[in-house]
Amino acid sequence: MSAWISRATIVLCLLIWMPIGACCAQMSAPWSWGPILGAVGEEHVAITWSTHRPVGFDLRYSLAQVYDATGQWEETLTFDRHEGVAEIWLQDLMPSSAYRYQLIFYEGDAVYPTEVGGFRTLTPAARSFSFAVYGATQSFPDRHKLVADAIASGEEAAIVFHAGGLVATPTEERFDNFFWAIADLARSHPFVSVIGGRDADASLYFDYLALPVGGGFADEQWWSFDYGSVHFVGLDSTVAEGTPAELRAQTAWLEDDLSQVVGKIVVVLSHDALYSASYPGEQNGALCTAWERLFREHGVDVVLSASETCYEHIYRHGIHYVNTGGGGAPLTPAPKGTAAGTVFRRYGMLHYLRGTFADDSLLLEAIPVASVVDDAIYLAPTGRSIDTVLVRVAR
């Protein structure tokens, strides 16, 4: 065992504890959902899941090249029985490295292995990588799964971003459906989201999702991190409807964060779009007042949203505002007017964004998954992009 693996540290958050006692073997698997990958960095990754009865478990992980060649795990971490939500952060991993992992649950004589998942830690100075972005997944889990599976089956994405609107109401049942839809995607793709709509009305959003460190509630309400020459920022746009103090706090954090970015492409995720033809006056006045000046002064390149359930690309004041609300929620009918600066828009379409960074340039492509006509689903015949955004690192 290499020295760096022996230094692995784990943070385990067992939200509901049950007393240890005798247990008979069960016929059904004990987990409600998961495992789901969360925040990822150069030397860490987070994993969450939930069980509906008390079980012991092992977490096994290894460098992918070792596991793929031998079928053996380099490290096994063993934990006592618990029930409910668990969150583990694996630390001291190797940068730029692919890993495999698996959870094994134990209950009496019964053994319940999950499918093997995988992830890749971030590369400190990555010259190329890919990611995916989508949002607005409430109401129709089957449509959401269609989009999630399309992302999972496409080109390898180092990270998947959700632009908010995860569930219609933040209940356990709704989140169970959400995690069912992303099971194959988030098992092997780190999954990072922002808050939209009613996602965070209860504590479940923060209990279930392991997000990058930032600010606000649990230091996860808004966040940022770098991947190579791209700086990603996730905001909670719902604070515009809350207390002025909360909006001021996030705006101050945002200004400080953006002021430290030099020589990078800046991508912001805000569930509520700043501009849309669906808005009266074509803009969200509160967010434009709070954030647009900062976006312009600090060189934000792209703002990705999902509050309007359509695809809408608007170019204003040197910034690409892209609404990608095609993750499965009821789709918005086309409004009569077109917002100023509109580059392209499409309605009645399930879709996601594919991002590719290479040669100091970021290419975003809108990938159709299916059209929805009178509740009938028609799969996209080619999966070719219908719109693109290209930005380059300023030198």
- Check which CATH number belongs to the domain holding 35 and give it: 2.60.40.10
Q: What is the pLDDT along the chain (395 residues), one digit of tens a residue?
A: 333 333 334 444 444 333 333 344 456 889 999 999 999 999 999 999 999 999 999 999 999 999 999 999 999 999 988 899 999 999 999 999 999 999 999 998 899 999 999 999 999 889 999 999 999 999 899 999 999 999 999 878 999 999 999 999 999 999 999 999 999 999 999 999 999 999 999 899 999 999 999 999 999 999 999 999 999 999 999 999 888 999 999 999 999 999 999 999 999 999 999 999 999 999 999 999 999 999 999 999 999 999 999 999 999 999 999 999 999 999 999 999 999 999 999 999 999 999 999 989 999 999 999 999 998 999 998 889 999 999 998 76
Strand partners, 235: 270
- 106 and 219: one domain? no
Running DSSP on this structure, what letter comes out for residue 273? -
Name the domain boundary from 120, 136, 168: 120
Q: Among 216, 227, 190, 215, which Cα is nearest to 90's?
A: 190
Note the pLDDT tens digit of each residue in 15-68: 433 333 334 445 688 999 999 999 999 999 999 999 999 999 999 999 999 999
Same domain assignment for residues 338 and 192: yes
Q: Do residues 52 and 185 both lie within one domain?
A: no
Q: Does residue 366 share a domain with residue 261?
A: yes
Cβ-contact 11, 88 below 8 angstroms: yes
User: Do 170 and 281 reside in the same domain of the chain?
Assistant: yes
Contact present, 51 and 16 (Cβ < 8 Å): no
Q: Which helix (H) or strand (E) holds 223?
A: strand 222-227
Q: Are residues 114 and 195 in the same domain?
A: no
Q: Are residues 176 and 106 in the same domain?
A: no
Boundary of a domain, candidates 67, 92, 120: 120
Q: Distance between CA atoms of 367 and 347, rounded to whole angstroms? A: 13
**Same structural domain, 71 and 154:** no
Q: How far apart are the first and last CA of the chain?
A: 44
Which of 72, 102, 120 lies at the terminal end of a domain, its last residue?
120
Q: Containing domain of residue 373, as a range?
A: 128-392
Same domain as 172, residue 98:
no
Are 289 and 372 members of one domain?
Answer: yes
- 199 to each of 144, 162, 328, how far by Cα in Å? 16, 12, 15
Domain count for the chain: 2
| 138 and 7 in a common domain | no
- Return d(Cα 59, Cα 76) in angstroms, integer: 6
Q: Distance between CA 112 and CA 106 in Å, rounded?
A: 6
Closest CA to 258 of 304, 212, 222: 222
Q: What is the pLDDT of residue 27?
A: 67
DSSP 71: S
Q: Residue 334: CB partners within 8 Å, gap ≥ 6?
A: 310, 345, 347, 348
Strand residue runs (E) in 91-175: 98-107, 110-113, 117-120, 128-134, 159-162
Please give the structure tokens belonging to residue 319: 């910034």
- Tokens 């009918």, residue located: 333
Q: Are strands 45-63 and 31-40 parallel, antiparallel or unpaired?
A: antiparallel
Where residue 222 sits, what CATH number does that domain have? 3.60.21.10
Do 110 and 250 fall into the same domain? Answer: no
